[in-house]
Amino acid sequence: SQTGGYDSTACRLRTALNQNSSTGAKAFVLDSTPANEQRYRVQFIVDASGIGLTQANRNVVAMQILGTSIPAGGSSRLVRVTLTGNGSAAILRILAGDTNQASFVQSVDVALPNQAGANRVEFDLTIGAAATMKYWVSDVATATTEGSPTGTFTNLANSGWGGVDQASLGLASANTFYRQNFTNTSFVYFDQFDSRRQTFIGN
């Protein structure tokens, strides 16, 4: 951790991977308190301004939500958030599990509203045969309201994952181009992880 967090917090999580590290290199914290949650609301802050991430061929997993089970042919990741670029900006690629899809996911790319600093991300995930996941992505200083998400995944067939079992926040599963081009001083910062069953978190 590093002194001086976002939005009045005392500290923040500073993460980096060694240059040319192994494919299994990771730097994250794990929350194992969820217990087969059928509704899971989570929020965190991410600041990727220190790595200048605009290249589409460099990506790293920044947050993941794991289920209690794995659908046949799928992975344990119920939700995955990848940091990457679109050629001109850093983006979050949000992938939500959906066994109706051949890829087992629905996905959306969202450019980070604050390219030069901290961004707030929140999810409201339900489990079922036709489930939903709302997502909010905003500048950390911008107020959010429950009724105005950035977007919503609908008709998610995600009951094959059972329910939410754990979540991780930090860096993992970086691809080759990410590991070749960033070093142990290429920092991504995280802060204010919060998870709940029902209540909107906001700011």
pLDDT digits (tens, 9 = 90+) for 63-82: 999 999 999 999 999 999 99
Helix (H, G, I), strand (E, B) or coil at 123: strand
Q: Could you give the CA distance from residue 108 to residue 92 in angstroms, rounded to a whole number?
A: 8
pLDDT digits (tens, 9 = 90+) for 32-69: 999 999 999 999 999 999 999 999 999 999 999 999 99
Which residue, 171, 173, 188, is CA-closest to 22?
A: 173
| 79 close to 86: Cβ distance less than 8 angstroms | no
pLDDT digits (tens, 9 = 90+) for 153-173: 999 999 999 999 999 999 999
DSSP string of 11-59, one letter each residue: EEEEE---TT--TT-EEEEEE----SBSEEEEEEEEE-GGGT---TT--
Structure tokens at 53: 């991430």
H or E element that contains 97: strand 90-97
Q: Residue 120's pLDDT band (boundaries 50, 70, 90)?
A: very high
